[in-house]
Structure formats: structure tokens, C-alpha cells
Amino acid sequence: MSESNVSRTHQSHRNKPQSRACPCPTAEPLEGRLLMATIHIYPDDPFTGTGSITAKIATAGAGDTVHFHKDHGGAPIAYQFPSRLGLKSGNSSGDIIYEGDAATYVALTGAITDPGTVITKTGTATSHDYYAFDIPSNASHIKVQNLDFEACGIAVLNGSADSITITHNLCRNGVTDPAAQPPTYPLWESAVYMTTGLTNSSVDHNVFENEQMGWGISFYNSGYVNDHFDYNTFSNTPGGIHAELHGSLNANSGVSLSYNVGIGLTNKLIEVPGENSAVTNLTIQGNKVSDFAAHTDDTMGISVPLSGQYVLNLKVIDNEISDVPGVGIPDPIDHRAGVRVGIELGGVQDSGGLSVRSFLA
């Protein structure tokens, strides 16, 4: 090869444009995910088996909504569960929401202008098992809303649960066993019942009416942390909220029983009894109770006779208790607002911040 040819060859290489990396961003494959779904359930779906209520719930994932329709294209039909329906959990990325068609309902009168989704449970009187919805052990991220529980309820029985919301439901017409002599309560005593702990949860804005059980809400033992039982209404029931809190220091903490309303009760709006109680930062605030339906030895607005060395920072403030004569009071002249309808506190030791400021009207 001649010198001139060599030079031309080198020159041609020098004149070639250099390839450059594109400054544009490149797309990377995304993680596969499913969109949030609505799972439709109808009153004529079977309880178990192919295409059943339980089979449909098994397909739900975090962020999904399980919608219980009040009908299937016709007149509303009540669901009749033969046993408790176990609710599947969501996770930290989203709740599984169990909801119904909300009723148009006038609280305190029982008037329903548009029936919503009604849940019932068969065999309650013979099995004494009152509960239609079962929130299982170690459940989390479950929300139950806009359902009408007729003579049945919701239970957390076999283990603690976290991030549970029970809101804007009706719980009505719970009855004793009429066949028993004397009449007896079903297996447990309230429409919403817990025995084994609850954390970061809320039972709020529910209506409990004509519940002839002992209480609208009751919970027992230990493991209740950062829970709110607020803004509920209890009408024509024996009692509102019953909480027995036991255990060691900080076994129960940050519990609120506030802004609830009771009318036509025969027992108490709120009762937190018990020897060897254990609760830190219990707040009972802004509750209102009036028009007791009867006066008995148990009739009282709020009763908090706690005792034990682990009761710290108890606040009972800005509650209103009155006994205005109303329908069902045997003796409207006998107003016992200052005797049996009132606030009872006792045995609080080492409160470290006991605050009591409520009034009788």
C-alpha cells in the first residue's frame, strides 16, 4: 500500500462520526400488579362451594372491595348465614373492604325508608352463636362498613387483630333465647365482641338499636393499644360499651371511649370495671346519655370503678348525663341523675394524671 493510500485510510477513520450514548431515559419493566377490584356478592349466592360467598372472598386481595348487594335485580333479600363468615385480611398496602348498600335510616326511631344490605344468621336461638362475621386470629387491615346486622354481629375471638375498622353499620334487634326458661343470652353478650386484643383500630359511627343483649360493644383481657370506640349511638339497649382491661403495665394503652350517645338505656352508657385493671391513657370524653328507659341498681351514665397498680393517666372529661322524662320511664318524677345516673370512679391508684370533669344535666 502506498503512503498516500495509508494517509487516506487514516483520514477516513478520523472523519467518521463517533457514536454517542442517547441521553433519553430508557424504560424499565414494571413489577406486575393487579388493579383494585370490586367483588360482587348477592343474597342468592350459596354460602360455600363453587361460586359461593366464601369462594369469592378467597379471591380478594389488598385494596379490593367485597360488596354485598342488597338484592339481585329484585326486591331486597336478607342474607342468611348458616355459620360465621371468616373475613380475609388485607395488608399494609391496603385494606380489604367489606361493604353493603347503605340503608336510608332514621336513628333513634327505627324508621327505614330504603332497606340496605341486611345480614342475618340462622340458628342463633339454638346454637347461641350470635356472630355472622368472624375476624380471625392475627387478622389485619379489614374494614366493615354500611351493613345492617339483624340479630347478629361481629366477633374477634381467637387471637389479636390489627388495623380493623368497623364503621357506619347498623346492629339491631338482638334477642335472648325465647325458648329457654328463664330466657338466656346467646353465647356472647354484645353485637361487637372482642376477647383477645386489638391494636390501631376503630369501632366508630355505628348505630346499636333494640339490642336486648347486654351491650352494644364489649371487649376483654389485654392487648388493646391505640384503639378508638367513638361516635357510636346506642338506643333502647341495656348498655353501650363494656370494657374489662387487665394485664401488666402498658398491657392496654391509648384507648378512647369518646363522643358516644346513649338514649333509652337501662344499664350504663360506658362501664370499665374490674379488680387488677391495667390501662394507660384511657380517655372517656364528650359522651352524652339521657332518657333512661328504666331505673335499676345498674342504671348509671358512666361507671369506671377501676382498681389496680397499673391504671395510669385516666381522663373522664366533658361528659353529659341527664335523665329527662321520656317514653318508658316508669316514674318520670324519680330523676336519679345524682344517685344512680351519674359517674362512678373508685380505686384508681397511681393515676399519674387523673382528670375528671363531667356534669349532670
Whole-number Cα distances in Å, 142 to 62, 166, 208, 209, 268: 9, 8, 21, 24, 29
pLDDT band at 248 (very low <50, low <70, confident <90, very high): confident
Question: What is the average pLDDT value for the chain, to the nearest integer?
Answer: 79
Contact 151, 121 (CB under 8 A): yes
pLDDT at 276: 76
Q: How many helices (H) and strands (E) would you count in the chain?
A: 3, 31
Closest CA to 97 of 138, 62, 139, 132: 62
E strand map for 45-174: 65-68, 79-81, 85-86, 96-100, 104-106, 111-114, 118-121, 131-134, 140-145, 148-150, 153-156, 161-167, 170-172
Cα 137 from Cα 159, distance rounded (Å): 4
User: What's the confidence (pLDDT) of residue 49?
Assistant: 96
Mean pLDDT over 206-228 rounds to 90
pLDDT tens sequence across 139-178 = 999 999 999 999 889 998 878 999 999 999 999 887 655 4
Task: For residues 52 and 44, give the distance between their C-alpha atoms in angstroms, rounded to a whole number.
Answer: 9
Cα torsion at 320, 361, 264, 344 (round to 10°)?
60
pLDDT-above-90 percentage for the chain: 44
- Give mean pLDDT, residues 114-136: 81
- Cα 168 to Cα 89, 134, 147, 153, 179, distances in angstroms: 20, 18, 8, 14, 32
pLDDT at 101 over 50: yes
Q: What mean pLDDT do residues 65-71 have?
A: 97
The DSSP symbol for 117 reads -
Mapped onto helix, strand or coil, the DSSP state of residue 261 is strand
Instruction: For residues 185-190, give the mean pLDDT.
Output: 58
Contacts for 126 with CB less than 8 Å, ≥ 6 apart: none
Domains plus CATH for the chain? Answer: 75-89+109-360 (2.160.20)
User: Which grid coordinates belong to 332?
Assistant: 318520670
**Amino acid identity, position 42:** Y
**301 within 8 A of 268, measured Cβ to Cβ:** yes
Strands 85-86 and 104-106: unpaired
Report the alpha-carbon distance of residue 256 to residue 279 in Å, rounded: 11
- Quote the cell numbers at residue 230: 367513638
Q: For the segment 30-49, what is each residue's pLDDT rounded down to a tens digit?
A: 444 457 899 999 999 999 99
b/e string for 176-209 if b means 16 or more Cβ within 10 A? beeeeeeeebbebbbbbbbbbbbbbbbbbebbbb
Q: Could you tell me which residue, 337 or 219, shows the higher pLDDT?
A: 219
Do residues 359 and 317 make contact, with C-beta atoms less than 8 angstroms apart? no
Contact 185, 176 (CB under 8 A): yes
Contacts 24+ apart (CB under 8 A), 324-329: 324/290, 324/291, 325/291, 326/263, 326/264, 326/290, 326/291, 326/293, 327/264, 327/291, 327/293, 328/264, 328/293, 328/294, 329/291, 329/292, 329/293, 329/294, 329/295
How is 161-181 classified by DSSP, letter by letter? EEEEEEES-EEE----BTTSS
Grid coordinates in use for 9? Answer: 485510510
In angstroms, the CA 148 to CA 230 distance is: 19
Q: Alpha-carbon torsion 59, 60, 61, 64, what sign?
A: positive
Q: 84-93: per-residue pLDDT in tens?
A: 999 999 999 9
